[in-house]
Structure 1
Amino acid sequence: MAADLPDEFDVVILGTGLPESIVASACSRVGQRVLHLDARNYYGGNWASFTFSGLQSWIDEYKNRDAAAEEPVTSREHVLENEGIVPLNRRDATIQNLEVFSYSESEDSDLVEEVGALRIKPELLNTNPTDGDRPLPGSPASEEPVPQELRDPGPESAGHQDMSSESDQIPSADITPTSESGGTPDTEPNTAKVCPTESKKSITCSDIAREGRRFNIDLVSKLLYSRGPLIDLLIKSNVSRYTEFKNVTRILTYHGGEIEQVPCSRADVFSSKQLSMIEKRTLMKFLTFCADYDQHIEEYQDHKDSTFAEFLQSKRLAPGLQHFVLCSIAMVSQAAGTVDGLKATQHFLRCLGRYGNTPFLFHMYGLGEIPQCFCR
């Protein structure tokens, strides 16, 4: 142990995953002396973010490591009579049955041998973000300005780069595809219709490896609602000053053999070319009800014991609208109850417009950066 560390601690925390890092930060903030340990050589535990080559190394480590060889060798040579040994096993028992498979149509075997066997074929989506659209019912009338602690990195945040490891300087690739191309409603339609077969080039593992330093891959793939306990915690604790977030500009869904844009504003709904005028008015009426459904119990009283999918059918929503609401707005399963579906839809609507045209935020440098922020 380093000579400059204290001899006694109030709390010892093992692991630097997100829960452990939050607990360590909270204990330290109230004046506890905290010893924070991790047997791994990276932050985040199962919440970590890796570069492409880093992910390959992580996969190889957990595929090839022998469990018996991981048992720590305990020695009492330097242990005093009043001390005990806490073995730190680097093998995570929650990570099992790792499998690597490929969606690539073709691959250069020589190059694959050099960079590893992990192969990914991402879809190429043509997105067209819009600005200034009025949010749907339930969201604020105008966007709340993104506070400094959640803004995109700018020149004033250059100091943040000094506190991050090299792999943390790269934007994460584990996010909903967005575009900054600046297409305007005057030159491009607001709706997106992308056919998966339109991808002209098959991206191989070799192609990704050459660009592997330009993105991070999260072990835990998550987007954050703009109104939620973690965002509130990041702001209130000032931990967010160490990191940057960005709003997901569009949400796309696969339906009927095509990729379509999920309407997240009144303008999205009424400019959609996939919906008829009757369907647009029906959808707006239903979302207006969902925004304050708890004030109209009589509307769903008879369907409390039914599934949300059955409730949508009872509201005479077209099959396409049912798909939008169930899979892309409420984002619940077919077996979810009516009340659960209404709560999820209401939460989606309430998160709209706070920082952008969708309710979701993603971390600029990967989700693995958040545990590091609490550790700082």
Structure 2
Amino acid sequence: MSEDASSYPPIEPTKFDLIVVGTGLPESVIAAAASANGKTVLHLDPNSSYGSHYASLSLRDLSNFLNSHPAPPPSTSSNGHDFTPVPLAPRPLYSHVEISSFVPEILDDEHSRKFNIDLCGPRVLFCADKSIDLILKSGANQYIDFKSIDSSFVCDASGRLTNVPDSRAAIFKDKSLGLTEKNQLMRFFKLVQQHLGGGENENERISEQDLESPFVEFLKKMRLPPKIKSIILYAIAMADYDQDNVELCEDVLKTKDGIDRLALYNSSVGRFPNALGAFLYPIYGHGELPQAFCRRAAVKGCIHVLRMPMIALLMDKCTGHYKGVRLSSGQDLFSHQLILDPSSVVPLPVISSPTDSSRENRQILGLGDEKRKVARGICITRSSLRPDTSNFLVVYPPRSLYPEQVTSIRALQISSDLAVCPSGLYYTFVLCVMMPTKG
């Protein structure tokens, strides 16, 4: 915090329908929805800017954020009230952070301020995604602009990048596809469109048995060549795990889900006249998304307070039910409901003779032991990875880089066109889902 929270004036009123802690995207959407429905909402964040773990930060702020170690909350007391304060424990969301620079001047203050690095990257949005529908329906689009991603590619085992076709015309123009491959792909897409359109004839619909089968088996049944199968599975349906080994796959994609993702991709292409392909990215970065919903919430009466950590929950001494929160300023606030972001852990309070219902309520506050992790990297370069393209997505399917690769790796390069870095520089997000740890 840039200033002592104890110097803040008391927040008025002290009772709300909902208190939301953290201004990440999920929390901001909930705050906006509750405010739009006439609820009294208090939205808190310990940071000096909006976004929490969805923020877009300068290089300097990014380094400070990733290397920050929140202090444990101070001790609290009930002071004779009918509630017990339960201190919160900080929960680090990053297990390992490493920052290096081969060009130190990029990290100086002048360059650093011109970057907007996404904490939640890399993530592109489908033009027809439900999140885009929500932005339009809620009116949050008044506060945010998007730009389309120029192209997307998939890498094969030889290291060659193949353009992901986004239309029939693109399929026929693609010189990397042979005539037979183009015909097979066109027949497949025709069947999918007939199925989604509720085809009248049986041969125009995908059978229930096929819909429940692994998508990879259905693609084999359609006699699609490996290259086309890889494009559909990993660059369009966005499967994370190796689908060819169904027995060992952590998350087998069913045909019905694969068809839904194809439909999403197909409906995304051409949805907006100024979007070239299927994907969008927010100008100034993903941090603009929670800010847009926060602004929408503020219009509806939500109170926002930054630089204000919450240090404890207030639990009823008799029932064990949630009553409110205690701020680092020492003020106690009360609400019917609480939304808490994942950066804090709520230990189970010690209450004598708890009822079964209170024990269940307290258990809900605990967080599960999630062993699955995501490895992410951010690379800043002086030249584009593809000379003719500035903003693009590359998908490396399982086993395309090395034999032991069991998950997809995605790389998203974006440029100053999206107001996220200085002109003449590019930065690339790299992401890979890690296999769950044993034990």
Query: So what's the TM-score if we normalise by structure 1?
Result: 0.63
Is the partner of 2:286 in helix, strand or coil?
coil
How far has the Cα of 1:268 moved from its partner? Answer: 1.6
User: Greater shift after overlay, 314-323 or 294-303?
Assistant: 294-303
The SS at the match of 2:151 is: coil
| Matched residue, 1:206 | 104
> Which amino acid in the other structure matches residue 236 of structure 1?
K
The one of 276, 296, 308 equivalent to 1:357 is 276
What SS does structure 2 have at the residue aligned with 1:310? helix
> How much has 1:75 moved relative to structure 2?
6.4
What does the per-residue CA deviation read over 1:52-73, in whole Å, with 9 as the maximum and x for residues that have no partner? 22111112114xx5xxx41224
Aligned to 1:30: 37
- What's the secondary structure of 2:113's corresponding residue? helix
Q: Name the residue aligned to 1:328.
A: 235
- Residues 284, 94 of structure 1: alpha-carbon distance in 2 compared, 3 angstrom cutoff: farther
What are the equivalent positions in structure 2 for 1:71-220 lying under 5 Å apart? Answer: 71-74=73-76, 81=81, 87=87, 91=90, 93=91, 95-100=93-98, 117-119=99-101, 204=102, 206=104, 208-209=106-107, 211-220=111-120
**In the alignment, does 2:180 pair up with 1:278?**
yes
Instruction: Name which of 131, 147, 154 aligns with 1:246.
Output: 147
Q: Distance in 2 between matches of 1:10 and 1:305?
A: 43
Q: For residues 3 and 282 of structure 1, do their structure 2 counterparts lie closer, same or farther at Cα, with a shift above 3 Å needed?
A: same
1:58 is paired with a residue whose SS is: helix
1:340 corresponds, among 242, 257, 265, to: 257
Following the alignment from structure 1 to structure 2, what is the Cα–Cα distance between the partners of residues 229 and 86?
37
- Hey, which of these two has a bigger chunk of helix by percent? 1
Tell me how far apart the structure 1 counterparts of residues 178 and 225 of structure 2 sit (CA, whole Å). 10
Aligned residue number for residue 210 of structure 2: 303
Cα pair 1:50 1:216 within 8 Å, conserved: yes
Of 218-227 and 290-299, more deviation after overlay is shown by 290-299
**Shift, 1:208, TM fit:** 4.3
SS of equivalent to 2:38: coil
Look up the equivalent residue of 1:6 and give its one-letter code. Answer: P
> Which residue pairs with 1:187 in the alignment?
none
Amino acid at match of 1:368: G
- Distance (whole Å) between structure 1 residues aligned to residue 66 and residue 105 of structure 2: 19
Q: How many residues align?
A: 267
How far off its partner does 1:344 sit?
A: 1.2
Q: CA shift at 1:230, angstroms?
A: 1.6
Q: How much has 1:74 moved relative to structure 2?
A: 3.1
Cα distance in structure 1, aligned partners of 2:127 and 2:264: 10
Q: Is the 8 A contact 2:213 2:254 kept in 1?
A: yes
Q: Which amino acid aligns with 1:259?
A: L
Q: Give the TM-score normalised by the residue count of structure 2.
A: 0.55
Letter in 2 for 1:9: F
Q: Does structure 2 retain, via aligned residues, the 8 Å contact 1:72–1:88? A: no
Does the Cα contact within 8 Å between 1:291 and 1:349 map onto a contact in 2?
no
Q: 1:232 aligns with which of 133, 148, 172?
A: 133
SS in structure 2 of the partner of residue 264 of structure 1:
coil
Give, in whole Å, the separation in 2 of the partners of 1:206 and 1:293.
55
Displacement of 1:26:
2.1
Assess if the C-alpha contact under 8 Å between 1:264 and 1:357 holds in 2: no
Q: CA deviation at 1:289?
A: 1.8
Q: Distance in 1 between matches of 2:114 and 2:161?
A: 26
Task: Identify unmatched segments of 5+ residues in structure 2.
Answer: 1-7, 244-251, 296-439
CA apart distance, 1:80: 8.8
With 207-216 and 46-55 compared, the bigger mean Cα shift is at 207-216
- Per-residue deviation, 1:213: 3.3
Contact residue 77 and residue 84 of structure 2 kept, 8 A = no
**Percent of residue pairs identical:** 34
Give the aligned CA root-mean-square deviation in angstroms: 2.7
Question: C-alpha separation between the residues in 1 aligned to 2:266 and 2:167?
Answer: 10
For residues 39-93 of structure 1, the C-alpha deviation after alignment (integer angstroms, 9 at most, x for no partner) is: 222322222221222111112114xx5xxx41224367xx79578757566x3x2
